[in-house]
Amino acid sequence: MSILIPERWRQDVAAILDHAVAGTILVRQRPRKDWENLDIEHYEAGLYVVLADALSVPGALSGKEHTMKEDGECYSFTFRYRPPSANGEIELYTKLNLLPDGQVVIIYSAHT
């Protein structure tokens, strides 16, 4: 069931992804490869920027809440994104977890 993603979570996660300080973002190998395979013109750091941008768009953001093995507050959502080599936008699915200290984001998914 779709829910409204809390504004505080959205802002905190967007800020962490935007600043991209060492030790604050952890990407699993699978989403890293999915992102790389999505467009050959992708940089790794581009994933942080694209996700931060998606979370920074004004207005309500709907998604799903998840309970993961790792503690924290985890939501998944989809958003429109135009890869560098593509002619049009695609829909990207992502699942992100903000750990309890509010300082670290885990990226579990980033794929179409």
| Interaction site with other proteins (CB under 8 A) | 20-29, 32-33, 36-37, 40-41, 43-46, 48-50, 69-72, 84, 99-101, 103-104, 106
Return the number of the residue (3 or 57) whose C-beta is nearest other proteins: 57
Q: Closest approach of Cβ 23 to other proteins, in Å?
A: 6
Inter-residue contact 85 to 40 (CB < 8 Å): yes
Please say whether the dihedral angle defined by the alpha carbons of residues 21, 11, 63 and 75, taken in this order, is positive or negative.
positive
Kindly give the interhelix angle for 29-38 and 44-56, rounded to the nearest 10 degrees: 90
Return the number of the residue (7 or 71) whose C-beta is nearest other proteins: 71
Return the number of the residue (2 or 29) whose C-beta is nearest other proteins: 29
Inter-residue contact 74 to 67 (CB < 8 Å): yes
Q: Closest approach of Cβ 8 to other proteins, in Å?
A: 18
